[in-house]
């Protein structure tokens, strides 16, 4: 038996005559408006207990969704369950709106309205949805450095709805930063970077909580700063800090999203040895010893193409979100390189070092060291 489909104008007329119209979309889909007179009830709720919502099987009911496909499928399911008077509105709310029929916006508490509007495009992704967005809202991410990498990464993490961003940086905004550090403005030159970043992030998304640490990360404070965070994003620009972060993340079992840039090239990876000993590498597996400064000058010495940190920082933010949502395949065990001049990515496999002094399986944490002295030993 084929399901009867009616156009929105017919549905409107029947609705005004007392026939029940049910909008079976999810709550976030109704935020932009639903057919006037429609009852909001998700498809899952309706199909789970049709008798509770539809009453007698001989009562006529109309179903509407976004485009008409789900309402047709739901009508077929309800017919099979013994409700033969259920019809589907062809074209759904999209066609209803196009034909100028009246819409109403649901009345919701301000915080719920903000949530559904702000993250509507995430909520439409089956891989994210309400549950995933709530996971992001509950997450805590540490961003080390509010400079070239930390700026784009933190900006997009805030936009994506990560609930708490902890920023640590002891530097102040300099005019030379503005070519690439997009969280800052000329008016905030001289302001601590984390304070400037906080202003930008909260202007973008007031629902995100920003914890600003105006201090340098050291062995003495690293565990305090990493406390309770789910993921660490490394936006640093020096080797002592990278080794310190790596060792702390291995000890504390935190995934570390690494990024680095120089001139026209950058690289990204995920080091997750703390949670996967012997299966995933750490930063020391990539660099057992720091390279000589002549082969790894910082941006102030060698320069950097302004857009490059944006590209690498966004790749880092992508990996953070994937880790928080448990989506896809992370860069764990892979080093992704990017050459801006050639516009080319390359990938290297990065296995764990079975003799790594920090992350080898079964090896006790050796303790924090003098990382500055360790890196000077490469001179």
Q: Edge-to-edge, what's the strand order for the sheet holding 164-168?
A: 209-213, 164-168, 140-144, 231-234, 256-262, 265-271, 334-339, 344-349
Would you place residue 296 in the very low, low, confident or very high pLDDT band (cuts 50, 70, 90)? low
Question: What is the average per-residue pLDDT within 125-148?
Answer: 96
What percent of the chain stands above pLDDT 70? Answer: 96
Question: What is the average per-residue pLDDT within 4-17?
Answer: 96
Q: Choose among 84, 90, 102, 101: nearest CA to 65.
A: 90
Question: Looking at the predicted structure, is the pLDDT value of residue 376 above 90?
Answer: no
Give tens-digit pLDDT for 22-41.
Answer: 999 998 899 889 999 999 99
CATH 3.40.50.720 residue spans of the chain: 139-376
Question: Looking at the predicted structure, is the pLDDT value of residue 379 above 60?
Answer: no
Question: Looking at the predicted structure, is the pLDDT value of residue 44 above 80?
Answer: yes
CATH 3.40.250.10 residue spans of the chain: 5-107
Would you place residue 2 in the very low, low, confident or very high pLDDT band (cuts 50, 70, 90)? confident
Beta carbons of 87 and 79 less than 8 angstroms apart? no
Q: What pLDDT is stored for residue 69 in this prediction?
A: 96
Would you place residue 106 in the very low, low, confident or very high pLDDT band (cuts 50, 70, 90)? confident
Please name the CATH architecture into which domain 139-376 falls: 3-Layer(aba) Sandwich (3.40)
**Which pTM was predicted?**
0.88
CA–CA distance, 353 with 284 (Å, rounded to integer): 8
Q: What pLDDT is stored for residue 299 in this prediction?
A: 63
Give tens-digit pLDDT for 76-90.
Answer: 999 999 999 999 999
| CATH number, domain 5-107, options 3.40.250.10, 1.10.287.70, 3.40.50.300, 3.40.30.10 | 3.40.250.10
Give tens-digit pLDDT for 192-226.
Answer: 999 999 999 999 999 999 999 999 999 999 999 99
Question: What is the average per-residue pLDDT within 312-326?
Answer: 98
Backbone angles phi, psi at 377, to 5 degrees: -65, -15
Q: Would you list the DSSP string of 310-366?
A: HHHHHHHHHHHHHHHHT-S--SBTEEEEEETTTTEEEEEE----TT-TTTSTTPPP-
Q: Is 244 helix (H, G, I), strand (E, B) or coil?
A: helix
Q: What pLDDT is stored for residue 298 in this prediction?
A: 63
Beta carbons of 157 and 166 less than 8 angstroms apart? no
Give tens-digit pLDDT for 329-372.
Answer: 999 999 999 999 999 999 999 999 999 999 999 999 999 999 98
């Amino acid at each position: 038996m084929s399901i009867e489909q009616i156009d929105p104008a017919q549905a409107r007329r029947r609705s005004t005559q007392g026939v029940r119209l049910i909008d079976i979309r999810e709550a976030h889909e109704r935020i932009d408006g639903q057919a006037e007179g429609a009852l909001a009830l998700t498809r899952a709720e309706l199909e789970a207990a049709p008798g509770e919502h539809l009453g007698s099987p001989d009562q006529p009911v109309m179903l509407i969704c976004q485009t008409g496909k789900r309402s047709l499928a739901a009508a077929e399911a309800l017919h099979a369950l013994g409700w033969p008077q259920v019809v589907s509105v062809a074209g759904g709310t999209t066609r209803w709106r196009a034909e100028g029929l009246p819409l109403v916006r649901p009345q919701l508490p301000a915080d719920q309205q903000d949530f559904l509007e702000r993250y509507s495009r995430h909520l439409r992704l089956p891989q994210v949805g309400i549950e995933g967005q709530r996971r992001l809202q509950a997450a805590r991410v540490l961003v080390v450095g509010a400079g070239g990498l930390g700026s784009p990464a933190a900006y997009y993490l805030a936009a994506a709805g990560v609930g708490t961003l902890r920023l640590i940086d002891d530097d102040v905004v300099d005019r030379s930063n503005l070519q690439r550090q997009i969280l800052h403005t000329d008016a905030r030159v001289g302001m601590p970077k984390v304070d400037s970043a906080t202003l930008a992030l909260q202007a973008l998304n007031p629902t995100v909580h920003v914890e600003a640490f105006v201090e340098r990360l050291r062995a003495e404070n690293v565990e305090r700063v990493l406390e309770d965070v789910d993921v660490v994003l490394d936006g640093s620009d020096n080797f002592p800090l990278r080794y310190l972060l790596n060792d702390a993340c291995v000890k504390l079992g935190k995934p570390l999203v690494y990024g680095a840039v120089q001139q026209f090239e950058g690289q990204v990876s995920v080091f997750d040895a703390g949670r996967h000993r012997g299966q995933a590498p750490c930063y020391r597996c990539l660099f057992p010893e720091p390279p000589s400064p002549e082969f790894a000058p910082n941006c102030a010495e060698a320069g950097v193409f302004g857009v490059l940190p944006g590209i690498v920082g966004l790749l880092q933010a992508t990996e953070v979100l994937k880790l928080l949502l448990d989506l896809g395949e992370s860069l764990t065990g892979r080093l992704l390189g990017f050459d801006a001049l050639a516009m080319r990515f390359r990938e290297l496999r990065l296995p764990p070092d079975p003799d790594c002094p920090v992350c080898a399986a079964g090896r006790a944490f050796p303790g924090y060291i003098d990382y500055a002295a360790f890196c000077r030993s490469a001179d």
